[in-house]
Amino acid sequence: MTNTASLEADYFGLESRWLETAPGENTHYHDLGDGVPVVFLHGSGAGVSAAANWWLNLPTLAKGVRTIAIDLIGFGQTQVPDDVQYGIREWGDHVLRVLDGLGLEKAWLVGNSLGGWVAMQLAIDHPERVEGVVSMGTGGAPRKTAALSSHAKPDVTPAGIRAVLEDFVVDPTLVTDQLVDARYNAALVPNAPERFASVIAARERDRSDMPLTDADLSALPMPVLLIHGREDSVIPPERSWRLAGLIPDVELHLFANCGHWSQVECADRFNTVVGDYLAARTSSGA
């Protein structure tokens, strides 16, 4: 483990694991609990990692299911070869390599923002590998306005990370100095600014070139839970209302007084909603 991963672990309190998922690709992840496997996919903010998205959720949800949270290629501490390519399907393929490496035929997917988009696209492309999806503030739609355009211009500095995180929440006091420092330390990997610029460019390219389509969403065969913060200014809640009108087996939960970071800002309520949903939809949820 690198020193920066140690600094991150000190704050988030999650044990690091590593899995060789391809030549030159060493995936950093966290694995807690037993039972039905549930893979957690983070969003794409500066200094993002699996731990930085899910540290308030994994220990609680792991009481009922097996929680596996990965650093997607291009993010966190996952190591990648020099010729790595990024994009929605490339991130989905990385998830499949993790499932294969862990010997898992199928899993639930829980995704936040970009992670929700990756989860939905993977469910569309490989429904045989996905038991169900939980998605918060789902990405994958063309950007309609210039609002929050700074999110497409990476600023991997403490000030830049703070600015993005404060856009994620209604209550800015949640963005503490310790949290900003932990996110910044998580971003201190070789060539971090260049790598982050590459993954954000790939995200913006695919937002235009291959957004989630109505036809594909309408054909999803697995259960889907959508979660959204009513005050989300990054991806407005109308996004989830629209998805809920397309997906056949869908439930939608809207949190009041909550922004884009529902799993952090409403952690206790989030854990209850997701835990109850998984318990109702799986044989080993508690």
Nearest to 244 by CA among 263, 220, 262: 220
Distance (Å, whole) CA 132 – CA 162: 33
Q: Which residue(s) pair with 22 in the sheet?
A: 25
Quick check: is 260 catalytic? Answer: yes
- Residues 137/232, Cβ–Cβ less than 8 Å: yes
Quick check: is 135 catalytic? Answer: no
Task: Sheet containing 250-255: give its strands across.
Answer: 17-22, 25-32, 66-70, 37-41, 107-112, 130-136, 224-229, 250-255
Q: Which of 113, 135, 240, 262 is catalytic?
A: 113
Distance (Å, whole) CA 208 – CA 205: 6
- Residues 76/28, Cβ–Cβ less than 8 Å: yes
Please name the residue that has the structure tokens 């996110």. 183
Q: Which of 232, 240, 253, 262 is catalytic?
A: 232
Quick check: is 177 catalytic? Answer: no
Active site residues: 113, 232, 260
